[in-house]
Homo-oligomer: A and B are copies of this chain.
Amino acid sequence: MKLNKNKDTKILIIGLGLIGGSYAIALKKKGYTVKAITKEESSVRYAMEHKIVDYATTAVEEALIKEADLIVFALYPTIFLEWIKSYQHLFRPGTVITDVTGVKCCIVYDIQNLLRDDVEFIAAHPMAGRESSGVENSTDKIFENANYIVVPTEKNTPEAIELCMELGRELGFRRVSLLSPEEHDKMIGFLSQLTHCIAVSLMCTNGDPLLCEYTGDSFRDLTRIAKINESMWSELFMLNQDILLQQMDAFIEEISSFRSLLASGDAEGMREKMRCSTERRMQFDRK
């Protein structure tokens, strides 16, 4: 199967939140037929009124699932697993399914193991988001400068991997790449989960209401992601617990060692750390 606008590839999205809605917007713009099943009646109404999808319903309609060529699961990880258990008998043989889950080891193998042999699950992680959730905040702009990571296992076919990468390109991501589930979770534990822990902790450190009167850009930038969807992120943290604990330990060790340099008045030691951070950060600007 290939994504093919002329042949009217039918895409079904399960879960119309921020990411599901943004997928729908991007794919409709590209000419695909996009339908959706989601939990809340209010999301269905919003998505239909704003023409975000061609059709949406709160019912798990067998016909919708059967006609879909590609199904995107944009659900919380645990709900995704439950959904597959309950409804996988409705898939048409040959259907390809993918997801948007932010952790992989804990979900990809489980889904692939319990999935019917005639349906293929190829995992993906769109590294995009914003501070407000829900379909009402959907926009394909969040994909523009973002990365899309396809996360195959040995069970995946080259065709499904290529289809999933094509999906990332069609969605408008800046960069589409491949990682194993293990590589993915380690990378995300550092780049995304640890940064959210830091932002939340920094914000919780000081409750002085006068702070916002004096704040500059650096504090604003560091705490932008401290406005956080607590249900989703606490679940993601728990699902990547061991790796995130390792990353937190490494960071706490590093900042504690910086603290020791300051406490002992070792200005040259601090400058050494700053030169290291400056050099590494410059690499990020070039990309």
Contact = CB atoms under 8 A, between A and B. Distances in A.
A220 B284 contact: yes
A203 B255 contact: no
Interface string A231-251: 101110110010011011111
Query: How many monomers of this chain does the complex have?
Result: 2
A227 to B, nearest CB: 4
A271 B230 contact: yes
B197 A211 contact: no
B265 A199 contact: no
B277 A262 contact: no
A63 interface: no
Interface in A121-165: 127-128, 145-147, 149
A175 to B, nearest CB: 7
A200 B270 CA distance: 10
Given A147-B216, A204-B273, A262-B245, A278 B191 contact: no
A49 interface: no
Lowest 6 CB-CB distances: which A-B pairs, in order? Answer: A230-B274, A203-B277, A201-B255, A226-B277, A230-B271, A200-B277
Interface of A: 127-128, 145-147, 149, 175, 177, 179, 187, 190-192, 194-207, 209-228, 230-231, 233-235, 237-238, 241, 244-245, 247-252, 254-256, 258-259, 262-263, 265, 267-268, 270-271, 273-278, 280-287
Given A191-B215, A248-B259, 15 more contacts: A146-B217, A177-B214, A192-B218, A201-B254, A201-B273, A202-B254, A203-B276, A205-B247, A205-B250, A226-B280, A227-B277, A227-B282, A234-B268, A237-B270, A252-B252
